[in-house]
Amino acid sequence: MSSSPSQPEGLAATVRQALTAVLDPEIRRPITDLGMVRSVLVDGGHVTVRVDLTVAGCPLKDTLVRDVTAAVETLEGVASVSVELGEMTAEQRAGLKDKLRGGQPEPVIPFAQPDSLTRVIAVTSGKGGVGKSSVTANLAVAMAQMGLAVGVVDADIYGFSLPRMLGTDQPPTAVDEMLLPPVAHGVKVVSIGMFVPPGQPVVWRGPMLHRALQQFLTDMYWGDLDVLLLDLPPGTGDIAISVAQLLPGSSLVVVTTPQLAAAEVAERAGAVAVQTNQRLVGVIENMSWLTQPDGSRLELFGSGGGTRVAENLSRLVGADVPVLGQVPIDIAVREAGDAGTPVVAADPGSPAAVALREIAAGLVATPRGLAGKPLGVVPVSR
């Protein structure tokens, strides 16, 4: 005869089933699948759940305790819940790493594998100051709000800013030599800014930049992402080349302002795609206008820059490179970025937030290119 939930063994089984809905806040997989639930003890109506953390100093352990408690305390027959935290043994961590890497003995770039389904989009610009990082942060959060699994790599090693804009200064959690990226606003994010003291500059030459980007892609456990965004430094330097080498199936999005001088420089950044065989998805025109109290538009930086870049790049690559959208000047964007909550989350009804969400939806709907994808075509010998 099967046990009822009121019996200790029956209630313990019910609790374990409920715990399958509890996700590790960093890995984003059920704690039951990760072997983190050591035991479930039932004493009358009191339930004790023993959970093994990946590391003793897990920065999100309070979140885990809260989620476990919430999943169990409403179950029939449960009067109270306590969560006891332990730490995984070296053997458990080794097993966890093997599970997360899918049995791969050495770290690889998962997004560069032929069977990867992750859409990789590198956001670039010709010059600094056009709002590229702000656009990247907002696109990432907007896509996460759509229910997608999103990661962001702050590849602007010298001028990193995403930790501030996404409101996280938490470093990745180390599970031996594997790192778990922190999550902010539903987005997994990594930046060199998480590894250096405040105010300290990064003074590296090209090979070090390449190695840093490579480690961000291999040593981090990203999980199954729908979209990976890379915030590239402005211009056409080492990082742009490294992205093309490490992620040959990536696409490029160019950010510019309407100003003619900025548009001319942005064209050169987009033209890199011709030499690296990357796909140009489109152009985003930022700071397009300032809406006046009477509803009129004040074009502080002129007009037409985005259209010019798109038209010239279309001629250069021989394919349509559209203007993905225009983002107006909005003080809410600056305020939200400084506060660590992108405007699409902080003020979703603002004009800039509406424009950025529309651009994000358009990017997600854009068909993926075939670069790096096996087509299953076998040549016929004659």
Question: How does pLDDT run across 327-339, given as a tens digit for each residue?
Answer: 999 999 999 999 9
Q: Token pair of 50, please?
A: 């023993």
Least confident of 7-11, 37-41, 100-104, 341-345: 100-104
Question: How does pLDDT run across 172-228, given as a tens digit for each residue?
Answer: 888 777 888 999 999 999 999 998 888 777 877 778 888 889 999 998 989 899 999
Report domain extents, the chain: 8-100, 111-365
Highest mean pLDDT among 59-73, 237-251, 334-348: 334-348
Domains 8-100 and 111-365 share a fold: no
Which residues lie below 8 Å from residue 128, measured CB to CB, with a gap of 6+? 159, 234
Rounded CA gap, 256 and 230, in Å? 16
Question: How does pLDDT run across 269-322, given as a tens digit for each residue?
Answer: 888 888 888 899 999 999 999 999 998 999 999 899 999 999 999 998 899 999
Could you tell me the pTM of the whole model? Answer: 0.75
Per the CATH hierarchy, to which homologous superfamily does domain 8-100 belong?
Fe-S cluster assembly (FSCA) (3.30.300.130)
Residue 171 pLDDT class (50, 70, 90 cuts):
confident
Class of domain 111-365: alpha beta
State residue 211's pLDDT score: 87
